[in-house]
Structure 1
Amino acid sequence: MAETTTQQRPLMGWDKPELDLTNAQWQSSSRGVGDVQIAFVEGFIAMRNSGRPESPSLIFTPDEWGAFVSGAREGEFDLT
C-alpha cells in the first residue's frame, strides 16, 4: 500500500511572519466577558480562544484588525 503525505503550503496572499507567541502578553476584554484574548506582537495583533490557548491563533495586520473591530461594532458578525 502506498503511503500518502500531506504537504502544507502557505495560503495564497499570506504575507505574515511566523510569530513566536510563547511570551505574548495576552489580554482579555476589560469586562472579563467572552473567550477571546488578544496580544500585540511584533507589529501584529494575535487573537486566540482563551478556553483553548493551545489551538492556533489568528494573526491580523493593524489594518485587518481595524476592519475586524469596525465590522464587529457595526454588527457584521451578529447572528440573526
Structure 2
Amino acid sequence: MDNPTPPTVDFDSLTWIKASASSDQGACVELAAAPRGWVALRDSKHPDREPLMFTPAEMTAFLAGARAGEFDHLA
C-alpha cells in the first residue's frame, strides 16, 4: 500500500476554516488547504497540536461518503 509523505508545512501560516454550523464554544474541527493538495485538520480547542494530514484522494473519498450520508449515524 502506498504511504505518501505529507509536505512540510508551517501550520501557523495556513488559513483555517470551520463550518458555519460549528459551536460558539470552540468545539469544532478546522480544515486548511496545505501544499500539494493535502488537507490539514485540527481541533479548534487545541490549535497548538499537530494537525492530521490527508491526501487529496483521502479527502475526496471522505467528502463523497459524507455527502452520501455514510456517517449520519455518528451524529
RMSD between superposed Cα atoms in Å: 2.3
* C-alpha displacement of 1:67: 0.7
Higher helix proportion, which one?
A: 2
Over 6 Å off, 4+ runs: none
Question: More relative contact order in 1 or in 2 (CA 8 Å, sep 6+)?
Answer: 2
1:40 to 17, 20, 33: 33
Provide structure 2 residue ranges, at least 5 long, that are not aligned to the other structure.
none
SS in 1 for 2:39: strand
Provide structure 1 residue ranges, at least 5 long, that are not aligned to the other structure.
1-11
Q: Deviations over 1:19-74 (max 9, x none)?
A: 22121111110223451000112222111000111122111122211111222333
> Structure 2: how far apart are the matches of 1:54 and 1:75?
31
SS in 2 for 1:55: coil
Count of matched residue positions in the alignment of Structure 1 and Structure 2: 69
Among all aligned residue pairs of Structure 1 and Structure 2, give the percentage whose two residues are the same amino acid: 36
1:56–1:75 distance in 2 versus 1, CA, 3 Å = farther
1:49 to 18, 26, 43: 43
